[in-house]
Structure 1
Amino acid sequence: MRWLISGIDFLLKAGAAIGCIILVAMTLLVTLEVVLRNFFQTTMYFTDEFSGYLVVAVLALGAGYAYRHDAMLRVDLIYDRLPQQMHQHFGVVFGLISLLFCALLDWQILRLWLRTLDNGTHANTVTATPLWLPQGLLLLGLILLTLAVLRRLLAPVEPQTPAVGTQA
């Protein structure tokens, strides 16, 4: 079981690292576009389109890592009102529902991605981007999120120790 958890942790870190690299690339792309427009009165024409794809990729690839480290938004309206001894049970039920939802989402995005590959669908833009590329990054990120949910069910998040200089 430990090897599975370690493997999932590795994949989540790799997804986050790829997301960071994509974020840097997107920043450079937008910066170059600004320089070209302001100093050379020209454009690359595809910056808006690619930036949109890259934003989705960054968010999707980082979602699993964020979930793993309990850094996603959580609505505690019901959770806080439960007795302390029910918190773990509620967490398991919520985790199972989340896992089911993520698996269904993965399945539907996989179907979309396969259909896009089969049809050879391209964006109706100047670059005619093959849509399987951005859809594939979305699919990868959602699979990582599903693995993060599974990981939490297998080994719940350890309590975080406060950073140096902060209050507990």
Structure 2
Amino acid sequence: MTEYRLAGVVRPIDVLTQAALYLSALCLFALFGFILSEVIARNIFGRSISFSWDYAAYMMGAVFFLASGAALRNGVHVRVTALREVLAPGMRRALDILACLVGIATVAMILWALAEMAWLSYGRGSRAATVSKTPLWLPQAAMAAGALVLWLQMIAQTLRVLAGGTLHGDAAE
């Protein structure tokens, strides 16, 4: 795959990943707002905000999944590199490709499960069993969207390695 063709496939994934990262930052800001408002409401007014914990949890799930593709793209996921460090460059590349393929399969299963859960919740009209009665497909769809971005970024990373590049976060070999 030429550099030009690789960029044509990978660049849109990177743009989507960056957009998901910005959305996760907004969710993190909202999470902070929900927790801060709950702390203020309890300590100053002696009352709880009925929906704050629910929505803080929804935001946490969204942040985790929406930012995971960017974490992979920027090489900040936790990796155990002990085996990679003792391998010759060719074997290291083969191990990287194998790890990417296993990652694609694993994330595909997570994506499928999250998307199916959101779809079933939508179809059944499932709502939170709390005061907020939030339609559960909304936070579930946010997590599925983040898993989709992670899956696409795993594919992009695999294409980069197959094209002779290194995993993000690695020094040039």
Letter in 1 for 2:85: D
Which whole-Å deviations, capped at 9, do the CAs of 1:52-74 have from their partners, x for residues lacking one?
Answer: 11111101000000001110001
Shift of 1:14: 0.4
Q: 1:10 aligns with which of 12, 15, 19?
A: 15
Q: 1:74 aligns with which of 68, 76, 79?
A: 79
- Share of identical aligned residues, percent? 25
* 2:91 paired residue number: 86
Letter in 2 for 1:94: A
Q: Does 1:150 align with 2:155?
A: yes
* 1:64 paired residue number: 69
Partners of 1:78 and 1:111 lie apart in 2 by 36
Q: Check the 8 A contact 2:34/2:53 in 1, yes or no.
A: no
| 3-state secondary structure, aligned to 2:65 | helix
Q: Which runs of 5+ in 2 are unaligned?
A: 162-166
RMSD: 1.6
TM-score by length of 1: 0.89
CA pair 36-158 structure 1, distance change in 2 beyond 3 A? closer
Partners of 1:150 and 1:34 lie apart in 2 by 42
Letter in 2 for 1:50: Y
* 2:164 paired residue number: none
Letter in 1 for 2:30: A
* 1:48 paired residue number: 53
Letter in 2 for 1:149: M
TM-score by length of 2: 0.86
Partners of 1:158 and 1:64 lie apart in 2 by 12
Q: How many residues align?
A: 161
Partners of 2:105 and 2:160 lie apart in 1 by 18
Partners of 1:41 and 1:146 lie apart in 2 by 44
Q: Check the 8 A contact 2:75/2:169 in 1, yes or no.
A: no
